[in-house]
Amino acid sequence: MQVILKEDMPALGRKGDVVKVADGYGRNFLLPGRKAIAATPANLRNIEQMRASAARQETRDREAALALGAELAKLRLVFTRRAGERDALFGSVTSMDIKHELDAKCFEIERRQIELPDPLKTLGEHKVKAHLFKGVDAELLVVIERESEEEAAGQ
């Protein structure tokens, strides 16, 4: 079965591509989920219009990601955590913590866009990469400071 993709599918192709898929996959997943349309002669004629629309949308998304990346480069996220003698944290700072801090500062980034292979477990400054769009990455400055004795006693 041949279908025209209506959105980017990592395993299949990009929006507007004509791909051959198994009949069941196309009939049971792609078509009902509106991720693709059947590759009929009429739809094939409209494919150029779909590709032009996709290119315009991609350009807008890339420009928005570049603007967001410039704002994120200026940003400094500060976390205070309890730490031991050798600057090792009791706990860690995860990508979810970073996402919540970005949400508090009105930046909408999904947790999976933040590249953090392992949670941050030491005090100091850390550079964390965020994937905003295809080929557009931003670097966040995450600072982890020691919690003061008064804050620790207040808990």
The average confidence (pLDDT) of the chain is: 88
Same domain (yes/no): 72, 147 = yes
Residue 128 to residues 70, 75, 104, Cα–Cα distance (Å): 15, 12, 18
Same domain (yes/no): 41, 72 = no
Same domain (yes/no): 105, 139 = yes
**Paired tokens of 120:** 């941050």
Same domain (yes/no): 80, 145 = yes
**Is 84 among the domain residues?**
yes
Same domain (yes/no): 39, 75 = no
- pLDDT, tens digit, 9 for 90 and up, residues 104-147: 998 888 899 999 889 899 899 999 999 998 889 999 999 999 98
**Is 56 among the domain residues?**
no
Range of the domain at 135: 67-153
**Is 127 among the domain residues?**
yes
State the total domains in the chain.
2
